[in-house]
Amino acid sequence: MLFELQLKKLVQDLFPQLFNKEVDEKQLLFQPTRKEFEGDITLVVFNLAKQAGLSPDDTGKKIGDALVAEGTLVSGFNVIKGFLNISIHNNLFLNILRDKIISSKTQPVFSGESTSGGPVLVEYSSPNTNKPLHLGHIRNNLLGYSVCQILQADGNNVVKVNIVNDRGIHICKSMLAWQKYGSGETPESTGFKGDHLVGKYYVEFDKHYREEVKQLEASGWSREEAEKKAPLLAEAQNMLRKWEEGDPEIMQLWETMNKWVYAGFDVTYKRLGVDFDKIYYESQTYLLGKSIVEEGLKKGILYKKNDGSVWIDLRAEGLDEKVLLRSDGTSVYMTQDLGTAVMRYEEYQFSKLIYVVGNEQDYHFKVLFLILKKLGYEWADRLYHLSYNMVDLPSGKMKSREGTVVDADELIEDMVNEAAKLTRELGKLDDFESDEAKQLFEMLGLGALKYFILKVDPEKRMLFNPDESIDFNGNTGPFIQYTHARIRSVLRKAESMPAFKSYKDTDVSLYSKLEAKEKEMVRILLKLDGVIHEAADRFSPALIANYAYELAKSFNQFYHDHPIIDPEHPEISNFRLNLCSYCAAMIHKSTMLLGIGVPEKM
């Protein structure tokens, strides 16, 4: 909070003079003043009253009087039930605002340049090459990308990484189904995006597999036996063994189908506006993982069962036994993750590695981090699982193998179309050419989607509601985007008027009076750096989203209550135009941290 450090020092210096006792800095608890009370920052007095030997209200009044009398920082105060609400001199806010505006003229809104620290790796996306991206992937990608933007803005050297799960039994299921039922289909022959075509055969495998299980059950097998012994599953398992042996025919099919998927992923990533500095592939890391497992076996940290499978026993740590190599020698996800983690550390010597993965994998990452620690990797303590909750739908949980997921490409297209429809209905097109309108609809549709996803704290489960997300009123992306366009419209109008063309040359610190709504805006504008730091510390883009909404809402209240351009009062107008300009810049900066674009006009 602004002025908290100065106030702490001042109260700490004044306390012995007022009460003949020292006060520890840890006892001085400050919080933002509640909106229904006058003030900029609030000191909690309850824990000081006993030491002062007075009631909380009397203690607060004595401290408030002393702060006002000191004269440099505090202009006034009020005490409400043991809370000392403090008002800071307006000129101090204006001096900081002036410095921020000056620096914003010489620096880009968001440079993307890191200022300190050695690399923080953030892993996100982590798709499988047996299906297209879906709504769950959208939350993952948007969260991961935004966390990278926020960490970078907070002065970290960030490396955005992806791990593509391009091998394993699930990949072989799609490959086998295409061999059996595909009739040579390709993305070119069908017009399907490659990831959609491969996903179609993952669903096809499951359909035929379930039919086989049903037939085996009808012949007297138990459900468990039927699921394990179904011929189609045995064929897929055999294909996986052949892949690990490097069978030329299987490898060629694998490479072909993966290329289809990668081309499809690239289209979706580009439209979502996310990217990566480095992409790892499980097929390139699992062998290192297997060698790490073999080394752990030699050291006696791992053990082998009679069937040849390799395990680690974590029961003493409150976890369980975990298989790391199957009896047939094939690897599991954990094996690959061990190899990938070691490879990344050898390459980057990271200060932190953050895995952006849903909370259904909480146990997996506890096990992974503990295994690495037991294997002697001291940097295992630098690993962090950013666990986020699920996205729910009105129809229930998504299931990829049954084809009931909300496809990412279809969802994006639906959002853009809905944005176009609503924008036209509301008449918010400002003399746009068709190409401009198309770009605006794309920006609004994606802004609505991204904001709705990111405004929810990662730890919270969320229900995705497209209709709510696209609204131009309330806590939505389009509301914030429209606010930016409104401000830019006001500024363009001012710049076309000779009397205000040079408003940017005004020194805002010389403004003589701050109206309540103006001061509220200034207060919000000046806290963005603190919000960024907190969001980086908590890995929570929701804090940035809520800030952007708070700022947009404050501007609209100010815009409603006060004229901005008033030829009869140029001093007031020049100050307000600067305030508007800096407000637009901070909306732009905060939305860029969320990966959201803002329009210049609507």
Q: Write the pLDDT tens digit of every residue in 247-256.
A: 999 999 999 9
Residues 419 and 441: beta-carbon distance below 8 Å: yes
Among 532, 498, 530, 508, residue whose Cα is nearest residue 580: 508
Select the more confidently predicted residue: 405 or 87: 87
**Which tens digit of pLDDT belongs to each residue from 328-366?**
888 888 999 999 999 999 999 999 999 999 999 999 999
**Which tens digit of pLDDT belongs to each residue from 438-483?**
999 999 999 999 999 999 999 998 888 888 888 888 899 999 999 9
**Which tens digit of pLDDT belongs to each residue from 302-329?**
999 999 999 999 999 999 999 999 998 8
Given this model, what pLDDT does residue 395 score?
A: 58
Q: Which of 208-217, 377-386, 427-436 has the lowest mean pLDDT?
A: 427-436
C-alpha 184/C-alpha 178 separation (Å) is 8
* Fold entry, domain 408-593: Isoleucyl-tRNA Synthetase; Domain 1 (1.10.730)
C-alpha 171/C-alpha 281 separation (Å) is 13
What integer is the mean pLDDT of 157-176?
A: 95
C-alpha 371/C-alpha 377 separation (Å) is 9
C-alpha 489/C-alpha 495 separation (Å) is 10
Given this model, what pLDDT does residue 417 score?
A: 93
What integer is the mean pLDDT of 268-294?
A: 95
pLDDT > 50? residue 402: no
C-alpha 542/C-alpha 301 separation (Å) is 41
Given this model, what pLDDT does residue 400 score?
A: 40
Q: Where are the domains of the chain?
A: 4-88, 168-276, 408-593
Given this model, what pLDDT does residue 85 score?
A: 97
Q: Which token pair is 319?
A: 């976890």
Given this model, what pLDDT does residue 466 score?
A: 80
Residues 437 and 467: beta-carbon distance below 8 Å: no
What integer is the mean pLDDT of 511-521?
A: 90
Given this model, what pLDDT does residue 140 score?
A: 96
pLDDT > 90? residue 595: yes
CATH architecture of 4-88: 2-Layer Sandwich (3.30)
What integer is the mean pLDDT of 511-522?
A: 90
Amino acid type, 373: K
- pTM, two decimals, is 0.91
pLDDT > 70? residue 163: yes
What integer is the mean pLDDT of 536-562?
A: 97
**Given pLDDT bands bounded at 50, 70 and 90, which one contains residue 112?**
very low
Among 411, 538, 428, residue whose Cα is nearest residue 483: 428
Residues 395 and 466: beta-carbon distance below 8 Å: no
**Given pLDDT bands bounded at 50, 70 and 90, which one contains residue 216?**
very high
What integer is the mean pLDDT of 545-570?
A: 95
**Given pLDDT bands bounded at 50, 70 and 90, which one contains residue 43?**
very high
User: How high does pLDDT run on average in the chain?
Assistant: 92
CB burial readout 109-146, b (16+ within 10 A) else e: ebeeebeeeebbbbbbbbbbbbbbbbbbbbbbbbbbbb
C-alpha 318/C-alpha 363 separation (Å) is 11
pLDDT > 70? residue 393: no
CB burial readout 547-560, b (16+ within 10 A) else e: bbbbbbbbbbebbe
**Which tens digit of pLDDT belongs to each residue from 223-242?**
999 999 999 999 999 999 99
